Amino acid sequence: MRPLMLQGHERSITQIKYNREGDLLFSSSKDQKPNVWYSLNGERLGTYDGHQGAVWCLDVDWESRKLITGAGDMTTKIWDVEYGTVIASIAAKSSVRTSNFSFSGNQAAYSTDKAMGQNCELFIIDVRNADSTLSEQAPTLRIPMVESKITSMLWGPLDETIITGHDNGNIAIWDIRKGQKVVDSGTDHTAGINDMQLSKDGTMFVTASKDNTAKLFDSESLMCLKTYKTERPVNSAAISPILDHVVLGGGQDAMEVTTTSTKAGKFDSRFFHLIYEEEFARLKGHFGPINSLAFHPDGKSYASGGEDGFVRVQTFDSTYFDNIFE
């Protein structure tokens, strides 16, 4: 299968996400306009216009009704997916780095950067009946992050906890009822965490880090289960929903890209076996580092978004499913 090239962004992609059914693919980039695409044929459905800065993160809720985005213009916006209108815009004190709906879609969490004299903070808001008054309402919880800023974030099972990945490689679980840290991973990663993605059943998650590794963690105890080593920083990693496969994407910092040729194989998607930690495939395609990866919920294709501003949707051949490890 030839990959679908989704060309709709003028600047580099920051995050891509499928909705639960997998028929829609959402992408955010530094050009201020998140996009939504049909994942089947790569047709662009529309854009969400309203941000004034680079959009760092996005998430779509369980029913594909609401979209949450966080941007460098110091706002978190909640959008109506179908109509592309802003339901609520919440101002923050610094740029918003991560944003996620809880599994139920009743709550959302977002975190702000440590910048302009502001500390990094984690906010939790109630979005059940979100409307324009949401910006005046106080968040249900705010936790200041004193040690290191949050660079990626996930909701834990049953909407009771939040897993945060930090700039210094630390991972923590926060109990949102008590508002305090309950588990700390210690120093499994030695550099910042770029991305975290849960497995399909939520029992484990994979991290992507600047220390050139991706690791598989248990999502209750934060025990490191597996390590996938590469030679360069990993920007994103995702777990296949149907097979024991992990895909890693990376490259190096965007500012060093000009010194690299695409032939060096630095911008490939790399497939590792989840259990044996062995690399078994590479896919070329992007002209710059891969910033975000996502598996389709049916596991038959995956999408990657790169520094080159393209989103590529690659459907797997039948040989991919027949590949049995000896």
DSSP 89-143: EEE-SS-EEEEEE-TTSSEEEEEE-SBTTBPEEEEEEE-TT--GGGGTSPPSEEE
Nearest Cα to Cα of residue 156 among 222, 215, 214: 222
Q: pLDDT tens digits, residue range 202-241?
A: 999 999 999 999 999 999 999 999 999 998 899 999 999 9
Determine the pLDDT at residue 186: 77
**Total domain count for the chain?**
1
| Averaged pLDDT, 109-130 | 90
Token code pair at residue 212: 């050139």
For residue 191, give the 3-state DSSP assignment: coil
Contact 165, 184 (CB under 8 A): no
CA 46 to chain centre: 21
Q: What's the pLDDT score for residue 129?
A: 86
Residue 261 has pLDDT above 60, yes or no: no
Lowest mean pLDDT of 83-87, 89-93, 143-147, 264-268, name the range.
264-268
DSSP E strands in 199-244: the ranges are 204-209, 213-218, 224-229, 234-239
pLDDT value, residue 320: 87
pLDDT of residue 184: 87
Mode of pairing for the β-strands spanning 180-184 and 171-175? antiparallel
Name the least confident of 33-42, 47-56, 243-252.
243-252
Question: And the tokens for 80?
Answer: 């109506």
pLDDT grade for 258, boundaries at 50, 70 and 90: low
pLDDT bin (cut points 50, 70, 90) of residue 19 is very high
Chain center to CA of 141: 22
* pLDDT at residue 171, rounded to an integer: 94
- Distance, first Cα to last Cα, the chain: 26
**3-class SS letters over 272-322:** EECCCCCEEEEECCCCCCEEEEEECCCCCEEEEEECCCEEEEEECCHHHHH
Mean pLDDT, the chain, as a whole number? Answer: 90
pLDDT band at 326 (very low <50, low <70, confident <90, very high): low
- pLDDT surpassing 60 at residue 262: no
Task: Read off the pTM.
Answer: 0.92
Q: How many residues does the chain have?
A: 326
- Find the mean pLDDT for residues 20-24: 94
pLDDT band at 116 (very low <50, low <70, confident <90, very high): confident
Q: pLDDT band for position 253 (50/70/90)?
A: low
Quote the CA–CA distance of 293 and 270 in Å, as a whole number: 11
Of 75-89, 180-194, 258-272, least confident by mean pLDDT is: 258-272
Which residues lie closer than 8 Å to 308 by C-beta, 6 or more apart?
12, 286, 287, 288
Distance from C-alpha of 138 to C-alpha of 126, rounded to nearest angstrom: 10
Is pLDDT above 60 for 125? yes
Q: What angle do CA 310, 113, 228 make, to 5 degrees?
A: 55
Q: Express as a percent the part of the chain with pLDDT over 70.
A: 95
Domain residues for 209? 4-323
Query: Which range, of 13-17, 23-27, 133-137, averages the lowest pLDDT?
Result: 133-137
CATH number at residue 255: 2.130.10.10
pLDDT digits over 154-199, tens only? 999 888 999 999 999 999 999 999 889 999 887 889 999 999 999 9
pLDDT score, position 263: 58
pLDDT band, very low/low/confident/very high, at 257 (cuts 50, 70, 90) = low
